[in-house]
Amino acid sequence: MNENIFTLPVTQQITPTLSERQIGQLPAIVVDHPACRAAITLQGAHLIAWQPAGEAPVIWLSGNTAYEPGTAIRGGVPICWPWFGPAGTPSHGFARNIPWELSSHTENDEGVTLTFTLTDNPQTQALWPHAFTLVARFTLGTECHIELESTGDFTTTAALHSYFQIGDIDTVAVRGLGSHYVDKVLDGAEGEHQGELVFTGRTDRVYTQPQAVSTITDPTLKREIDVEHHHHSDVIAWNPGVALSTSMGDMTDDGYKTMVCVETGCVSTPQVSKAHAPARLATTLRVRALNQA
């Protein structure tokens, strides 16, 4: 689907490099800039594509996902807020399932910056009775920087649930996760490991002492993806494995083979937002050729 996004009919040309297009039933802002291509749906302020010029797609998107109002998109970078996981209904919060507003955009020779805003309304108040302003800012060029800022008086958990396109889950490794983790596959059991994480089946771990940068090494696609974390307490590593992938209606049976999630989050240590002190969560993504010497 990543390539098809950029051939969809334009419904509104915003600037020479920005346009609005329709993906299924969802409007999306599409970036076609000399430095990169990208796309963000208005529902969820959800990044569904980003690739620097000359690079293959960095962001994974399921071929079975539905682009329907109120339905979460499988893939991309969902914004999980104001809770992560099954702490409330819907799972991973409501921010990814409702429309946001494109509140500003700027561009220069290096790329574009898009800002999306969500404020409380009757729909959110029914799910979570707090007044808030949530801002998602995307700076897109040879790097991808995503910053989430929440203003109000509340405590939240959150994650930027990044799905990455890989060549083969059996060959990738992730370093920079730290050693201590909470294993959600094993009902929250705590564990320790040293060195790189490799994937031998369903994996769902919250690493509570991560390094500032996690790196995905992908020998099949001959590249590395750096995921730099900001204002975080945790990094989540996830791959559904074959059995769960087969059972998920919005993922193809073999979808797990070409994706891995390395997510910047605040899960074990919730964020506290005050009117005078917004809470922030951010990630910076970079891709580079793999040095195999």
At 292 the pLDDT is 62
Amino acid (1-letter code) at residue 243: A
Closest CA to 73 of 47, 53, 105: 47
CA-atom Rg of the chain in angstroms = 18
Catalytic residue check, 263: yes
Residue of 161, 224, 228, 229 with catalytic role: 161
SS3 content of the chain, % helix, strand, coil (to 5): 10, 50, 40
Closest CA to 172 of 243, 284, 259: 259
Closest CA to 157 of 97, 99, 236: 236
Q: Which residue has the tokens 């983790």?
A: 181
Note if the bond before 219 is cis, omega within 30 degrees.
Answer: no
At 293 the pLDDT is 46
The pair of structure tokens assigned to 180 is 């201590």
Catalytic residue check, 228: no
Tell me which residues of the chain have a pLDDT lower than 50: 293
Please, are residues 257 and 251 in contact by the beta-carbon 8 Å criterion?
no
234-251 tens-digit pLDDT: 999 999 999 999 999 999
DSSP string, 112-136: EEEEEEEE--HHHHHHS---EEEEE
β-bridge mates for residue 118, sequence order: 134
- pTM (2 d.p.): 0.97
CA-CA-CA-CA torsion for 274, 275, 276, 277, nearest 10 degrees? 40
The pair of structure tokens assigned to 43 is 């529902």
CA pair distance 174, 247, nearest whole angstrom:
26
**3-class secondary-structure state, position 87:** helix
At 120 the pLDDT is 98
79-115 tens-digit pLDDT: 999 999 998 999 999 999 999 999 999 999 999 999 9
Closest CA to 237 of 145, 172, 143: 172
At 1 the pLDDT is 54
